[in-house]
Amino acid sequence: RSGENTCVGAPGQSYIKSISFITESCAGCSLNVTEGGPMLKLESAQSDGIGSCYTKALDHVDSMDFTAGEQAIFISDPELDKDLLSGCYMYGMSNVLGGKMVWTGNGTWTILENKIVIEFSDE
C-alpha cells in the first residue's frame, strides 16, 4: 500500500498498466461527455489466494468514450486515470482469472467482441 491508500505491486511484480475496450454500440446512451461508464471488478491469483481490485465508473468527462467504434483507454498514470482506476491503479497482478463489469450509464452498452484488454507492466 502506498501513502494514498492505493494498492500497488511489490517491487519486481507486474501491475496493471492500462485497461481498454472498443465500443460496438451504445443504444440510448447519453449524448454528452458525461456518459457513466463501466465499473470493473478484476480477480487474479495472488500468493495468498484470490485477489481483486475495483475501478470507479470508467468515463473521461472531457470526451465521448462510448460511441460506436471508439476505443477508450484508461492508463495507470497519476496524471491521467489514477482516480478512475481507483483500486486497480497499478494493482499488482500479472493475469486475470475473472471479474465482473457493470454499466453505470443510460442505455445499453456493448463492447466489440466482448473484449476488455488489460495491459500489464513488464516488471
The chain-wide mean pLDDT, for the chain, equals 87
The x, y and z cell numbers of residue 77, run together, are 498514470
3-state SS assignment for residue 110: strand
Rg, the chain, Cα only: 14
Q: What is the DSSP letter of 9?
A: P
Residue 103 confidence (pLDDT): 96
Distance CA 37, CA 81 (A): 13
Band (pLDDT 50/70/90 cuts) for residue 93 is confident
Q: What are phi and psi of 92, to 5 degrees?
A: -70, 105
> Does residue 27 carry a pLDDT above 70?
yes
With 0-12 CB in 10 A as exposed, 13-18 as middle and 19+ as buried, what is 99?
middle
32 touches 117 (CB < 8 A):
no
Q: What are phi and psi of 113, to 5 degrees?
A: 55, 20
pLDDT in tens, 35-79: 899 999 999 987 777 889 999 999 999 999 999 999 999 999 999
Residue 123 confidence (pLDDT): 58
Distance CA 99, CA 12 (A): 24
| Between 92 and 12, the higher pLDDT residue | 92
